[in-house]
Structure 1
Amino acid sequence: MKRLATVLGALVLVLAGCSSADTDTDTEPAATGAQAEFLDAHGLAGMDTAEIIDHLDRLGGADRPTDFMASIRPDKLVFSDGQQELAVDMPEDRFYLSVAPYVDQTHECFYHSLTTCQGELTDQDLGVRIINDEGEVLLEEQMTTFDNGFVGIWLPRDVQGTIEVSYDGLTGATDLATTDDGATCLTTLQLT
């Protein structure tokens, strides 16, 4: 019982924002203490934040975990298993945007769920171009949607711009923002 109280106390501190904000998530493990125990219990131990996101976002169907939820906020990757919730810091200089362009059907989404969000176009090749409001091309490449129908894109923080997607003769574009109040899940880009 005392150990559970210690773990829960650590989680409260993490959720209150008392975790170290200067962790380099590109080279260091994503978590220590209670976070590490949680991640280890779910097969994510030793991964940094970007590796956890990449791993989970690529899963689809029966491969997705059902014993916990993982959701991306602009500054945190939030986990919950129904009994506890914890947060791991996102990289300070990058923003993760998960994009699910669609033709016929979509779902409303603001914060991307790595364990439940499902897009329409799975395993499909897309042309993706992102331009900031100053006209600078931030990304222009061919990408393949994951089994969950999304492509995951790491962008600089504090960018406002436009994403353009082409697929099988169809195109679409919409605005995006990688700000502290920006959406990490973009499901409003219809291809026509």
Structure 2
Amino acid sequence: MLTLLTTLAIIGIQEKNKSPLDRFLETYNLDGMNLKNVIQTLEATAAEAEGFNASITGSHLILSDQDESYEIELPAGEFYLSIAPYINQTHPCSNHNLVTCRGEMKSETFHVIITDLDTNEVVIDANYESTPQGFFGLWLEQNKNYQIVINYDGMTQTETLFTSKESNTCLTTMQLA
């Protein structure tokens, strides 16, 4: 009996020591993850919780529901970009909403080449699969000029982007042709 009471007391202390953000993350099954894993999980989630919202700017991940809102700073010097290539249909977007943004090309594989325009160094040359929401996300260095080339099934599109704290995190203008 004493062991059970001790265990319950420890659990109560641990629960009391949780920050409001920790309790919020736990509510949405995001506890125990680092920031990049939270973003990756939300980017891939098709069935969002009622009233939950998650968006990302050039400097913060913003999580909210009807009662609470939290701004979590992104890692220093890093920039998150979510891309939704399309053929026929897109939507305007500036700061990506990890919960509600939907792209046309769901669960498709794209070959992505990203070049640092200041050094001409290829920083990414890899395949990315879009989520069931039609987006794929990647991390880039902040305050850089990049050229992004996306290839898909014989079609291609190229765009340039500067990654600052004020830059758009949602790229929905890459029409493949």
Q: Distance in 2 between matches of 1:72 and 1:146?
A: 17
Equivalent residue for 2:165? 180
Letter in 2 for 1:78: I
Whether 1:139 aligns to 2:128 is: no
Corresponding residue to 2:67 among 43, 68, 83: 83
Structure (1 or 2) with the greater strand fraction: 2
Corresponding residue to 1:99 among 83, 90, 95: 83
Q: What's the CA shift string for 1:133-153, capped at 9, x where partnerless?
A: 121111011111111101111
Q: Distance in 2 between matches of 1:64 and 1:84?
A: 16
Q: How does 1:103-114 map to 2 (within 5 A)?
A: 103-114=87-98
Shift in Å at residue 93 of structure 1? Answer: 2.5
% identical equivalent positions: 35
Unaligned runs of 5+ in 2: 1-17
Corresponding residue to 1:74 among 58, 66, 71: 58
Corresponding residue to 1:33 among 9, 15, 19: 19
Whether 1:49 aligns to 2:35 is: yes
Equivalent residue for 2:4? none
* Helix, strand or coil at the partner of 2:21: helix
Q: Distance in 2 between matches of 1:140 and 1:111?
A: 25
Q: What's the CA shift string for 1:23-54, capped at 9, x where partnerless?
A: xxxxxxxxx62211211111111111101000
Corresponding residue to 1:159 among 130, 144, 149: 144
TM-score (norm 1): 0.79
TM-score (norm 2): 0.86
Letter in 2 for 1:125: T
* Helix, strand or coil at the partner of 1:116: coil
Unaligned runs of 5+ in 1: 1-31
Q: Distance in 1 between matches of 2:134 and 2:50?
A: 18
Q: Distance in 1 between matches of 2:30 and 2:40?
A: 11
Shift in Å at residue 58 of structure 1? Answer: 1.1
Q: Distance in 2 between matches of 1:72 and 1:59?
A: 15
Equivalent residue for 2:109? 125
Shift in Å at residue 132 of structure 1? Answer: 1.5
Which structure's CA Rg is the greater one? 2
